Structure formats: C-alpha cells, structure tokens
C-alpha cells in the first residue's frame, strides 16, 4: 500500500484543527456550558464525521472500480481543493465569534457533519488523493475512517477546552499571519506531493 503518511497527516491535522464550524461551535459550547455538557454535541460531530468518511471511501472505491477514467480527475481535483484550502487559510482572519449558542446535543452535532458538503469534499479528497492506492477492504476503510474521526474529535475537544486561549492567540496580527503562512505552505507542500505522485503513478 503506497501511502504518503507525512502528507496525509499534515493535511489531516491542518484541516481538523484549524478554525471551522466544528471547532468554533465546540469552543462556544465549551466556554458557555463546560466540557462535560458539550460532550454529547462533540460525540455527534464524531459520529457524523465517521459516517461521512465511510461513505466517501466507498464512493471513491466505486468510482475506481466502475469509472477508472475519473480517478485521475478526482485526484487532480483533490489537489486543487487542497490549494484552495491553503489560500483560504492564508487569507483567514480567524474571526471566531464565541458567543452564547443554545445548548446543542448529539443530533445537532451529527447533522452538522452529515449535511455539511465541505466534510463530504474533505472525505473525497482524502480517499481520491492520499489514499488512492489503499486496498479498499472493510478493515482498511473502517480503520482509516476511525483514524480521521479520532483526529477530528481531538480537534473539537481541544477547542472546547482551550477555545478562549486559542481565540486570543490568533487575534494577534503577527501570530495569525505567521500561523496562516506556515499552515498554507504545509498544505501547498501536501498538494504538490500528491500531484507529483499521481503523475508518476
């Protein structure tokens, strides 16, 4: 199994830990209601994330099996999406509004993932680029989806516990610019490696 572990982990860490609907809403919940009362919501996020990763993996396998000519297109599309994320992160102001949301539970967290097209695109990007040549056995599919889910849960848990500190740090202009530049360059690096591996076969 030819998997670029370094690029995969770089991409996964950046996309799960940077500010987004999951992390910001979890930070708000944690700050307002505490970590324990936010746990149900975060478990819903994790469940939804796991289901989307499973579906993305199965869809990617289906395309490889029945529409092999689309594999290259998906792979290049995934690399372009990573570059788009790099640009978005570089330009990001991290203007996180940690207000007072209504208490949200398991089903709200689940719905946030299942109905979020960005998570679907993320899943397809992972399985059509980084894990393109992974044998699509049930054990590989389940373990890979579980690995991404654990990383996602670690991200929302971190934001739920330390959201205020993270929010203050990224509001400092120099810190934010430096962080954005580093994360963007890492994503560009991942995209280039993925595109190169696709070209070289």
- Give 194's pLDDT tier (boundaries 50, 70, 90): low
Q: What is the mean pLDDT of the chain?
A: 80
Does residue 99 register a pLDDT over 70? no
pLDDT at 167: 64
Can you tell me the mean pLDDT for 35-55?
93
List, for residues 109-164, the tens digit of each pLDDT value: 898 888 877 788 888 888 888 888 888 889 999 999 999 999 999 999 998 888 66
pLDDT at 42: 94
Q: What percent of the chain has pLDDT over 90?
A: 22
- Give 183's pLDDT tier (boundaries 50, 70, 90): confident
CA 42 – CA 40 distance, rounded (Å): 5
Does residue 39 register a pLDDT over 70? yes
Which two tokens mark 69? 């000519």
> Alpha helices of the chain — where are they, by DSSP H?
5-17, 21-33, 35-66, 69-91, 106-114, 117-125, 138-171, 173-200
Consecutive H or E run containing 137:
none
């Amino acid at each position: 199994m030819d998997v670029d572990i370094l690029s995969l982990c770089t991409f996964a860490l950046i996309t799960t830990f940077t500010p987004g609907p999951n992390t910001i809403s979890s930070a708000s919940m944690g700050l307002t209601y505490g970590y324990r009362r936010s746990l149900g919501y975060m478990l819903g996020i994790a469940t939804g994330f796991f289901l989307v990763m499973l579906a993305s993996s199965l869809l990617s396998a289906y395309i490889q099996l029945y529409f092999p000519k689309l594999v290259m297109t998906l792979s290049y599309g995934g690399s372009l999406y990573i570059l788009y994320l790099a640009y978005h992160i570089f330009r990001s102001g991290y203007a996180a509004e940690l207000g007072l949301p209504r208490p949200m539970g398991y089903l709200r967290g689940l719905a946030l993932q299942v109905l979020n097209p960005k998570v679907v695109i993320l899943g397809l990007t992972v399985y059509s680029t980084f894990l393109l040549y992974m044998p699509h056995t049930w054990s590989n599919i389940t373990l890979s989806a579980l690995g991404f889910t654990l990383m996602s849960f670690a991200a929302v848990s971190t934001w739920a516990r330390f959201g205020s500190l993270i929010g203050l740090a990224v509001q400092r202009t120099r810190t934010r610019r430096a962080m954005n530049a580093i994360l963007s360059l890492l994503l560009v690096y991942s995209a280039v490696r993925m595109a190169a591996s696709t070209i070289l076969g």
